[in-house]
Amino acid sequence: MSSSIDSLPPNLAKIVQRFQRASDQKRRYEQLIWYGTKLKAFPESDKTPENKVPGCVSQVYVTASLEDGKVAYQGDSDSQLTKGLVGLLVEGLNGLAPNEIVQLAPDFIQETGLNVSLTPSRANGFYNIFKTMQKKALECEK
């Protein structure tokens, strides 16, 4: 089942619409890299095996904490484009309740048009980052 923009959380819907307005792949890549630059500095002390996203070619780290019942993510990667994917997801998922995050399907990436320009390993990386963020949201609830 594919997600329509209307069924996405507001922040994620905004991101999808921004990418849909990008006229070509180059603009989408620039936008993706911009999301990476928006990430807060990731503490070196959090670059631990528990926070490392499995199955990514790049080094990717994600942490999650619960603040007033809402998930707050932080993330980082050593690759600019992957860092952009992390930034996009952090921006899109921050402030949601864990159950909202767990119920999301990753197919909204197709709505952005990015899936056609991502290499198979990056597309797989996106999926692994997304799944890790869902797992961390669940762990926050415990």
How far does Cα 56 stand from its chain's mean position? 13
Residue with tokens 């990753």: 106
Structure tokens at 5: 């923009």
Q: Which two tokens stand for residue 135?
A: 């797992």
- How far lies 116's CA from each of 17, 57, 113, 123, 125, in Å? 16, 19, 6, 9, 14
Give the whole-angstrom CA distance, residue 98 versus residue 103.
9
Q: Tokens for 120, please give them.
A: 């198979």
Instruction: Look up 140 and say whether it is catalytic.
Output: no
Catalytic residue from among 56, 62, 89, 137: 56
Which residues form the catalytic set?
A: 56
